[in-house]
Amino acid sequence: MTTTPLVPDAAALRDGADVLSLAPVIPVVVVDSVEQAVPLARALVRGGIPVIEITLRSEAGLGAIEAVASQVEGMVVGAGTVVTPAQVQQVKDAGAQFLVTPGSPPRLLEAALASGLPLLAGAGTLTEMLTLAEAGLEAMKFFPAEASGGRPYLSAVAGPCPQLRFCPTGGITSETAAAWLALPNVGCVGGSWLTPKDAVAQGDWGRIEALAAEAAALRPA
């Protein structure tokens, strides 16, 4: 079933660069049940974060994408941990408005580009980044960020590739996010700290709203 998202026209996305501009932090979310997804997403919107990456790391992921896309006004919903060409079509049909992949093998990259959805493809090395640039992508995901050399590595990338911009994800915390955002080639960061597992399990949407508000106010260090 194809879902019609409720996101306003002003939030229409052309490419990955538009995704980077939505908020300082993209929440990377794993939900254990579809029922958690809508109140969680609404809490993020109330806190000033109008974007969410719902990963396919749980069986509830696909249904959660569909629920948020069809029920949460003002939220741009992306699909994360997309690892196969088949998943690309599944999340598009569910209403995902952008794709996030942890890596960029040829068949997955081809399917993601063919979908027409904005894409943040994962890259952890300069060769992978240049491969994505050859495919026409100038915005991408730096993953796993801390394990792939952290801020010093991504800062060095800006020398030979000043046109590339990134959403670093993996190991970033509320304490380190501002330092990442200070890098000239970083548009936003991805993080899971906005939606702690215990808060989601307990339905503590007020806590998630407060964490979203703190993230929305982040400025480069």
Whether residue 3 contacts residue 94, with contact meaning beta carbons closer than 8 Å, is answered with yes
Q: What is the mean pLDDT of residues 73-88?
A: 97
* 146 included as an active-site residue: no
pLDDT one-digit tens code per residue, 147-197: 999 999 999 999 999 999 999 999 999 999 999 999 999 999 999 999 999
* Helix extents (H) in the chain: 16-20, 34-46, 61-71, 85-94, 106-114, 126-134, 150-157, 177-181, 197-202, 205-216
The CA distance from 39 to 16, in Å, is 26
Confidence tier at 1 by pLDDT (50, 70, 90): very low
* C-alpha to C-alpha distance for 5 and 156, rounded to whole angstroms: 39
Digit-coded pLDDT (tens) for 35-44 = 999 999 999 9
pTM given for the model: 0.94
CA distance 153 to 161: 12
Beta-bridge partner residues of 191: 27
pLDDT score recorded for residue 3: 47
CA distance 174 to 211: 9
Q: What is the dihedral of CA 107, 1, 14, 178, to 10 degrees?
A: -80
Q: What domains lie within the chain, and their CATH numbers?
A: 16-216 (3.20.20.70)
Catalytic residue among 53, 66, 146, 209: 53
What SS3 state is found at 129? helix
- Amino acid letter, residue 211: L
66, 92, 141, 209: which is the annotated catalytic residue?
141
Residue 141 annotated to the active site: yes
